[in-house]
Amino acid sequence: MENNAAMRTWLDAFNLSHPLVIAGPCSAETEEQVLKIAHELKDSDVSVFRAGIWKPRTRPGGFEGVGAIGLKWLQRAKAETGLLLAVEVANADHVQLALEHDVDVLWIGARTTVNPFAVQEIADALKDTDKIVLVKNPVNPDLALWLGGVERLYNANIKKLGVIHRGFSTYEKTKYRNNPEWQLPIELQSKFPDLPLICDPSHITGKRDMILEVSQQALDLNYDGLIIETHIDPDNAWSDAAQQVTPSALKQIFKDLRIRKITDEADDYNQRLEGLRTQIDEIDSKLLNILGKRMKIADSIGALKKERNVAVLQNKRWNEILGKMVLEGEERGLSEEFILKMFKAIHQESIAHQEKIINS
């Protein structure tokens, strides 16, 4: 897949003065619920009304969506409000039903993106369509898999494409439901700047009181839009109650968000920015030099362990280092999450150096 400015044409067609907003309930529950939410959203910054019709559940027995009958409710919502429609599809049958009910935006969910066979089935069913198709990131932090899903659709001559960042599963507990791993969508954005990028703060956070914070982070990173789960009675929603906001809360989020300029052409801004970037470049060079010296010491430790036939991994020492670095990092204004990620990467490289020496 090549960069192609035409990929942004569908987004530009909305002619918005603000990022694209897709909103609506996690699940369509009743016709009354769907219509009420849609009507409360129609006079806001929302352009596309979303609702889950088929809901993939982690374990059997949970609410798995109302099915095709919900598409008729969405059709009525579209007719009455003028909002475009968006639903998740997971197979060719879903695609066919969505097309028959004039759904405007189809998205592929995280559980489906991980399965190339399923994505290919959807791509074949949508071949040559002029509908907008969005691909959520896979559950696991795998950029190649995410891009592979987009490429399958692109190869089926589907040009109105975009991606949704909904965060990634992690074994470790964090404050997020799905860890954002911002570096992955940033890398995707740098490789394919013409591919519209939408943030799903509902699934990243899993908590309605964090929606504003993550939405602002996304806009600060030049995301093109947001997809936010919205319900008239979130606490009693049939699925994902904790992460849904009311229409009035959503409108307040719009008011509180700050839309930033992409850049500033003023000479004083660019001079100051260039000076600060030069400082960062110098520090980055010093960091690499220090890390190189650290790994040479790791090589010496590996040689000593080889000489005395000692195991590479020393868990007690490693845990002591982590605890100490977290405390020192906090004193320097660095988050625990960042310190853990950084030192785990450094530790893994150190272990690899020692193993190489021991096994040589």
Residue 62: the pLDDT is 73
Residue 327: the pLDDT is 93
Residue 196: which CATH number? 3.20.20.70
What does each C-alpha distance from 107 to 20, 174, 176, 254, 319 come to in angstroms?
15, 27, 22, 23, 43
The verdict on 213 and 272 lying in the same domain is no
pLDDT band at 61 (very low <50, low <70, confident <90, very high): low
Query: Pick from 256, 285, 309: which residue ends a domain?
Result: 256
User: Does residue 148 sit in helix, strand or coil?
Assistant: helix
pLDDT band at 45 (very low <50, low <70, confident <90, very high): very high
pLDDT band at 67 (very low <50, low <70, confident <90, very high): very high
The verdict on 155 and 227 lying in the same domain is yes
Query: Pick from 221, 256, 291: which residue ends a domain?
Result: 256
Please tell me the distance from the alpha carbon of residue 85 to that of residue 174, in angstroms, as a whole number. Answer: 33
Q: Decide if 262 is inside a domain.
A: no
The verdict on 55 and 168 lying in the same domain is yes
Q: Decide if 204 is inside a domain.
A: yes
Q: Decide if 105 is inside a domain.
A: yes
The verdict on 234 and 293 lying in the same domain is no
The verdict on 66 and 106 lying in the same domain is yes
Rounded (5°) CA angle 118-112-148: 75
The verdict on 47 and 141 lying in the same domain is yes
The verdict on 115 and 184 lying in the same domain is yes
The verdict on 197 and 123 lying in the same domain is yes
Please tell me the distance from the alpha carbon of residue 359 to that of residue 157, in angstroms, as a whole number. Answer: 51
The verdict on 315 and 176 lying in the same domain is no
The verdict on 272 and 181 lying in the same domain is no
- pLDDT tens profile 190-238: 899 999 999 999 999 999 999 999 999 999 999 999 999 999 999 999 9
pLDDT surpasses 90 at 265: no
The residue-averaged pLDDT of 252-265 equals 90
The residue segments making up the domain with residue 303 are: 267-358
Q: Are strands 105-108 and 84-89 parallel, antiparallel or unpaired?
A: parallel
Q: Decide if 273 is inside a domain.
A: yes
The verdict on 58 and 195 lying in the same domain is yes
Q: Decide if 96 is inside a domain.
A: yes
What are the DSSP calls for 252-316, one per residue? HHHHH--PPPS----HHHHHHHHHHHHHHHHHHHHHHHHHHHHHHHHHHHHHHHHHHT--S--HH
Residue 281: which CATH number? 1.20.59.10
- pLDDT tens profile 339-356: 998 999 999 999 999 999
Q: Decide if 261 is inside a domain.
A: no
What size, in residues, is the chain? 360
74-106 residues labelled b (16+ CB within 10 A) or e (exposed): beebbeebebbbbbbbbeeebbebbeebebbbb
Query: Pick from 236, 256, 276: which residue ends a domain?
Result: 256
Q: Decide if 242 is inside a domain.
A: yes
Residue 67 DSSP one-character state: T
- E strands, the chain, are 20-24, 48-50, 84-89, 105-108, 132-136, 161-165, 197-199, 225-229
The verdict on 134 and 273 lying in the same domain is no
Query: How many domains are contained in the chain?
Result: 2
Residue 329: the pLDDT is 93
User: What's the whole-model pTM score?
Assistant: 0.83
pLDDT band at 8 (very low <50, low <70, confident <90, very high): confident
